[in-house]
Structure 1
């Protein structure tokens, strides 16, 4: 009889132990978070050119996030560095670690080498990414829908996407884009701090008009006439929106459009959906405007920084005469031949020749990528 009672007791204790171990293992994250509470979540961009960030410190919101996060399904896998768009820093009381997100908001834990998935987790990050993007970027709106919002004489604020600085401008005129002037001397000094020396390089800016943010692009060269005489800026400079055209050729400028999509947070979409011929134009536009970001995003491998510096310091302007698809092209790879005239800095010397840009299809992104060593090839050809 005692043996039977002992056996039953043993079975009960074993059952209790098994249940206890199950509860402990299934709630390990709970105990970890209970004794090492989450104090802050910071969401930022993986691209160093984008300095915006969103910080969450509200305890209730952090607790709601943890409930979602600890229930996420773990799936072993790898991610590619070039596809990371957001970084999420989880700061606990005694530790911190990082999550990586792509544009599709797939959540990757680089420490554990696993994806962490749940519909609720993606919904959370979709909401926060949208909040961050809305605060940092501007809406991409066609020129014809913007021009009446900034009549001649209207003052608006511009924020440089990379530098983060703000300055005020007044519209002077312009028909196919806005001719603008720094409002006063202080605004001129801010603009010059961005450019260093006055030049035609395009830069991505966010224009705040009547409390709303719009994606735009500027150059940094005083030219033509102006009406403000005490800002030490001789003339005006240009402000472009989607579809704006230049004065001289009356054409949509690829470099300005590239910067507008950068200011609107839509650079990946622009480049992912572009055909190789359009990508070739964007690459040359990025070279002229000294913006490595578009080229870095398209390139299959890391760019040689020394070659990049040599190229951007030597090229003043590139005029594209013709773009054509080469003979050695198929569904997986293609060659684009660009007939271009290259003008060099601090000299009247220029050359005209054909440049070959080679692209291969990235089946993960389903978009065209630039072959490695393109900068060295271009540098040698020029």
Structure 2
């Protein structure tokens, strides 16, 4: 055994040397372990579904040396964050501005090199985190009848198994087991609902963007404690009744594909109205904040409790379909809303959404203060 001792000693010394190189190689110029600096994507800060990537040195340096300015408005809605270490967590908006989540300050101008790196990294992170935007025809082929797959709810990160049973324009599916039904109902906070939710469909090695509702209806064939089936929509799916794509499902599909925040820049006044009604009905403040400007986001933060008292809101009248808003900066739309509060009951009323923008190049937004006064 003694003749092997020198070789064992040599191997041990070499191993320790390589380990020391590895450790020193992970320490950045700022004296931190670079492995602690991570991007992460998270659609909701309450979600268990998180995707991570390391942050390059150029971005770390830009943040460390960046010029912080005080801001008077809330952090814009975002789904991308940076942890430089356990004490420093920042948000990144889609204009590549950096926000301190503990203090009201931001870096609103980064070096071109850092912006280029951030833009490239965000695309890569989104590819990891979100689903592919596929049409109904593609989904119909990829997920044939009687195929089973996993549903991942983006806002909670919870998953359950389903089987597709039918559906000509969207997928009619059922939870596979009683346990899957239980998880789905917990995602809907214990009450079956028509509310739309952004989901990912996980099938084999693929991840697809989709939207589901949570209301059992029609027939069901599986012994799973679920009284019927529910629907999953993909891009270009249509409903049985309208034979049109449901706008609420469309919003959630874009959210599941990681496209919603960019898409808000192109929304028409009518689409802003629908997004506002949907977000108040579902208490989805991420969606509502994304169609508001800074001034109205401040108000939203103050009025969330008032809006949460609205248990149901539904549009009863049609929206305008013409494009006479193209050259305008102000555009009112009046619709009839069905509004229910558990405390005070139900009523129908005419509500005017005051939509405006600062210039023709800027996105439309809604006057939240004026709207709340009518609700």
Aligned residue number for residue 26 of structure 1: none
What is the deviation of 1:331? 2.9
Matched, 1:201 2:195: yes
Give a deviation string over 1:102-156, Cα, whole Å, max 9, x none.
Answer: 2133456779854563444234333432333223211222212211111110101
What is the deviation of 1:275? 1.2
What is the deviation of 1:321? 2.9
Using CA pairs under 8 Å that are at least 6 residues apart, name the structure with larger relative contact order, 1 or 2. 2
- State which structure, 1 or 2, has the greater radius of gyration over its C-alpha atoms: 1
What is the deviation of 1:32? 9.1
Select which of 256, 260, 271 maps to 1:267: 260
Q: How many residues align?
A: 335
Residues 301 and 55 from structure 1, CA distance in 2 versus in 1: closer, same or farther, beyond 3 angstroms?
closer
Aligned residue number for residue 157 of structure 1: 150
C-alpha distance in 2 between matches for 1:129 and 1:293: 19
Compare 77-86 and 122-131 and name the one that shifted more.
77-86
Aligned residue number for residue 320 of structure 2: 323
RMSD: 3.5
C-alpha distance in 1 between matches for 2:120 and 2:361: 23
C-alpha distance in 2 between matches for 1:96 and 1:166: 31
What is the deviation of 1:264? 1.3
Give a deviation string over 1:274-333, Cα, whole Å, max 9, x none.
Answer: 11122112222333334222212222233111211111x2x26433334379x9997332
Aligned residue number for residue 44 of structure 1: 40
Aligned residue number for residue 214 of structure 1: 208
TM-score by length of 2: 0.77
Give a deviation string over 1:11-38, Cα, whole Å, max 9, x none.
Answer: xxxxxxxxxxxxxxxxxxxx99354554
> Contact 1:41 / 1:88 at 8 angstroms: preserved in 2?
yes
Residues 232 and 280 from structure 1, CA distance in 2 versus in 1: closer, same or farther, beyond 3 angstroms?
same
TM-score by length of 1: 0.75
What is the deviation of 1:53? 4.0
Matched, 1:102 2:93: yes
Aligned residue number for residue 253 of structure 1: 246
Aligned residue number for residue 66 of structure 1: 57
> Contact 2:37 / 2:84 at 8 angstroms: preserved in 1?
yes
> Contact 2:130 / 2:258 at 8 angstroms: preserved in 1?
yes
Aligned residue number for residue 174 of structure 1: 167
* Corresponding residue SS for 1:357: strand
What is the deviation of 1:189? 0.8
> Contact 1:142 / 1:243 at 8 angstroms: preserved in 2?
yes
Residues 32 and 207 from structure 1, CA distance in 2 versus in 1: closer, same or farther, beyond 3 angstroms?
closer
Select which of 75, 98, 110 maps to 1:117: 110
Q: Where does 1:287-302 land on structure 2 (aligned, <5 Å)?
A: 287-299=280-292, 300-302=296-298
Select which of 126, 136, 144 maps to 2:129: 136
> Contact 1:41 / 1:90 at 8 angstroms: preserved in 2?
yes
Give a deviation string over 1:156-176, Cα, whole Å, max 9, x none.
Answer: 111001011011111111111
> Contact 1:156 / 1:208 at 8 angstroms: preserved in 2?
yes
Matched, 1:223 2:220: no
